[in-house]
Amino acid sequence: MSVLATARRSSLLPQTGRDARLATRAGGFKGQTAGVAPGYVQGNLAILPGDVAGDFLRFCQLNPKPCPLLAASAPGDFRLPTLADDLDIRTDLPRYRVFRHGELIDEPTDIRGHWRSDLVAFVLGCSFSFEEALIEGGIELRHITLNVTVPMYRTSIATMPAGPFHGPMVVSMRPMKPADAIRAIQITTRFPAVHGAPIHVGKPELIGIADLMKPDYGDPLPIGADEIPVFWACGVTPQSVVATAKPEFCITHYPGCMLVTDRRNSEFAIM
């Protein structure tokens, strides 16, 4: 996609968190949320029954890089007032994934039909928040340039277990020239609440990734001969953990389709 086409697409996207949620709720926005509502924090989603919610909270506390917790709801409450006043977690993401006993059973655009009074919603920090800072730093993000979903991979890096929750870390990958990779490390270190600095640079086989052109989630990206892959801990990790733990019921975001909040990215930057 050309720079002009990218700019044109950006001008058509919702420009505030509230705009994004209302457009999604009304069915007017159904795409992935990279580049949506610049400046506003986006979040990954995990919704679990109350009987395992405490264990999942502990899992997030033990694994802050892939699971940086931004907010958690009361059981049965679909609102998250610390993230936005007008927010309905059942309708405000473009697409969801619904699991039963670890098996994917649905990928709806609205989860009101799946909602239960015992469900607790967890919103986790998303790399889209630090991507804004990378773009401002003059670093190209190829998945945004090409208008595709960032590639994500299961790794050989084990998470710290909590109750039934355990499994491999998932990472997202962005190809960069070495000088840009160094700058990206400097920039994202300032955002520990939204994954922070990369966990690995270069040789994907060292973290259990056999083929960069075959991501577990998202779309493959071309990597130039003068570029290296840079890997960040990813909020899709809970989906990998769900596949291992197989809780009775779970809802997550569809990869690339995040919750857009009213919080600002600047609130989470360490200056």
- Residues 115, 167 within the same domain: no
- Residues 78, 147 within the same domain: no
Q: Residue 15 corresponds to which tokens in the numbers above?
A: 């420009």
- Taking residue 5's Cβ as centre, other Cβ atoms within 10 Å add up to 11
Does residue 270 lie in a domain region?
no
pLDDT tens, N- to C-terminus, the chain (271 residues): 333 334 334 556 788 999 999 999 999 998 888 778 989 999 989 999 999 999 999 999 999 999 999 999 999 999 999 999 999 999 999 999 999 998 999 999 999 999 999 999 999 988 877 888 899 899 999 998 898 889 999 999 999 999 999 999 999 999 999 999 999 999 999 888 788 899 999 999 999 999 999 999 899 999 999 999 999 999 888 878 877 889 999 999 998 899 999 999 888 877 6
Domain count, the chain: 2
Give the DSSP per-residue string, 102-132.
Answer: TEEEE--S--GGG--TTEEEEEEE-THHHHH
- Residues 135, 162 within the same domain: yes
- Residues 7, 115 within the same domain: yes
User: What are the helix and strand counts (H, E) for the chain?
Assistant: 7, 11
pTM value? Answer: 0.85
Phi, psi of 113 (to 5 degrees): -70, -15
Residue that the structure tokens 């790399």 belong to? 127
Does residue 219 lie in a domain region?
yes
Are 184 and 176 in contact by the 8 Å Cβ rule? The answer is yes
Where residue 252 sits, what CATH number does that domain have? Answer: 3.40.1640.10
- Residues 145, 206 within the same domain: yes
Q: What whole-number distance in Å separates Cα of residue 254 and Cα of residue 94?
A: 8
- Residues 233, 139 within the same domain: yes
- Residues 132, 44 within the same domain: no
Q: What whole-number distance in Å separates Cα of residue 225 and Cα of residue 199?
A: 22
Domain holding 230, by residue range, is: 128-237
Amino acid at the residue 180: D
Candidates 233, 243, 239; CA nearest to 254 is: 239
Does residue 271 lie in a domain region?
no
